[in-house]
Amino acid sequence: KIDPYSNETIFCPSYLTEFDEDCMPCYKSINYDFSPTPEEFLTYLPWFLSDIPVEMCPLGGKPSFGSIVILNPNYYKLKNLNEPPILASAFMTFHTSLGSSEELI
C-alpha cells in the first residue's frame, strides 16, 4: 500500500489484505504463465521472504525460505545497485535414484 505519511510503497502482510482496504495484493490471482521481470523479482523478494502464508494468500515465503536466503543490506537498505542483491542462499533439491553410475552421465 502507499504510506500516507511518506508517500512510499510499503509492505502489507498477507493477513492484512482481508482487513485493510488499502492493502491490495500485488497479484490478484495465481497465473502460472506470469513471470516477474528481474527488477520486480528483486523489489518484492524481501517482502516475500518476510511474509507468512495465510489461507487467503498462501504464497508467503518466510517459513520455507526466510532463513536460507541472505539479502545484501548494501543493496536493499543503502540502495547500492552495484552490489549483489543476494549474499547467500541454500535450496534443497532431489532427483530420482539412479540405478548405476552410467546413468549419471
Classify 36 as helix, strand or coil.
coil
Helix (H) or strand (E) holding 88, with range, is strand 86-89
Report the alpha-carbon distance of residue 69 to residue 45 in Å, rounded. Answer: 10
Tens place of pLDDT per residue across the chain (105 aa)? 666 677 777 788 877 766 677 776 555 444 455 677 788 889 889 989 999 988 877 878 899 899 999 999 999 999 999 999 999 998 777 778 888 888 776
Helix (H) or strand (E) holding 65, with range, is helix 62-65
Break the chain into its structural domains and give their ranges.
1-104
Rounded to two decimals, the pTM is 0.68
Of 22, 14, 79, 18, whose CA–CA distance to 48 is shortest? Answer: 14
**Residue the block writes with cell 504464497:** 59
